[in-house]
Structure 1
Amino acid sequence: MRTHPSRTADRLLVVAAAGTGLAAAVLALLVAPTDAVQGQPQRLMYVHVPAAWLAYLCFAVVLLASIAYLLRRDLRWDRVAQAAAELGVGMTALAIALGSVWGRPVWGVWWVWDPRLVTTAVLLLVYLGHLSVRGLGDDRAAGARRAAAVGIIGFVNVPIVHFSVVWWRTLHQPASVLSPDPAPMDPRMAAALGVAVLAFTLAGALVVRRRLRVLAALDADHHPFPAPPVAAEPLVVLPRSRP
């Protein structure tokens, strides 16, 4: 029996994500040196930064899929936007939580009204709104249009979050990746971080693919395709028998 191509792709993603995740754990815990200033809490970077990166990537997908939906009015693009937004919201929440745990021993507090933290919290609320407006009313297409508008406008906050450590005075350290002036990093730390980012990206692709199948099934249940018309049987006229 031949395996469906999508199932094969999922299995490859599972293997790739698991392999890179294991490699990232080994590099982060056993190979990368302990930070001279922050100590062991700095190792949270190997999850915190990949989570933030994956959130950025998801919201970029939301932006592109939302534009595609408004241009084509194809619900497949709306499902891509929804699946990516759900994962992006989860990764943003994870990044905030890990940042708080990391900040407690380093800054001495769980939370500060820092530009990076505040803009990230706003980002989380924006994309929670993106998911929430879908359920306003019973019109599926209208909900998709509202969500697309929020998904497009909300992306404006992504570069604000990322460059907040450059534009304003902040306690947060400079960006480790995607920065014009990245913070200096030991090559072993950089290798561990790079592999962790790859592992999160592969795992995220797998999650989105599987979520898309669920959303497609839900759409099919709520908006089933009309059944094809049944051809009427020809009327047979029997000859009248003579008495």
Structure 2
Amino acid sequence: MHRFFLLQTTLDPGAPVDLTPIAHQLRTVLRLEPGDQILLLDGSGAAFPTQIQSLDRSQAWGRVLSREAVHTEPRRPLFIYQAMLKADKFEWILQKGTEIGVSGFAPVISQRTVVRPAEKVRRKFPRWQTILREAAEQSERGVIPRLDGPYDWPAVLGQGEGVRLLLYAAERERSVGLVQALAGIDPLTPVSLLLGPEGGFSPEEAEEAQAAGWRVASLGPRILRAETAALVAATLVLHQS
């Protein structure tokens, strides 16, 4: 069943619902017709089977049939603070991270990031929100990951919930592995990951992060691309929950 997030719409079983915001997708892209059923989501973790009642080029209406719980969300909240990468790589992390089950993302402007002005990063947010929504629909999630920031380096050091881990490749031979860092931690405890840009974090940034309470962890002896590291780390964290 096709899934759509309607975050600004009240969804009540038995009540009519305005489907006009997704009328083009229903009629032109998916070629659905009145009588067909779709699944609406309000972003709270609930799903609402809905029958299309009317559908034309300019508007669409449906009727909510019932309310169901969505059981596809990971038990452990995971938030990724990712130093900015080139646009396609950062968007790839957003898309695939959403599919994996990441709870939220925030772009970070660090010493070696390619895209530096915060305002330039902020202008990308509408596009990124669309990527998150579409990935959440495709992967059958019940919520859309949160998008925060952008944060400059001093600001991000005060962010993060639960276990806060800095992935720092330069210390990989002396730092604890990511799986080891989570050993013995309650599987419901939130995890925050701070990941670097293509050139990694500088030694000064790593020292400042540790002084602010971030614990250094590694993904093993090999050097991974920034976008690879983000998804490997997310997979390992969520596998532990």
What is the TM-score when the length of structure 1 is the normalising length?
0.21
Higher strand share: 2
Higher helix share: 1
**Higher RCO structure (Cα 8 Å, ≥6 apart):** 1
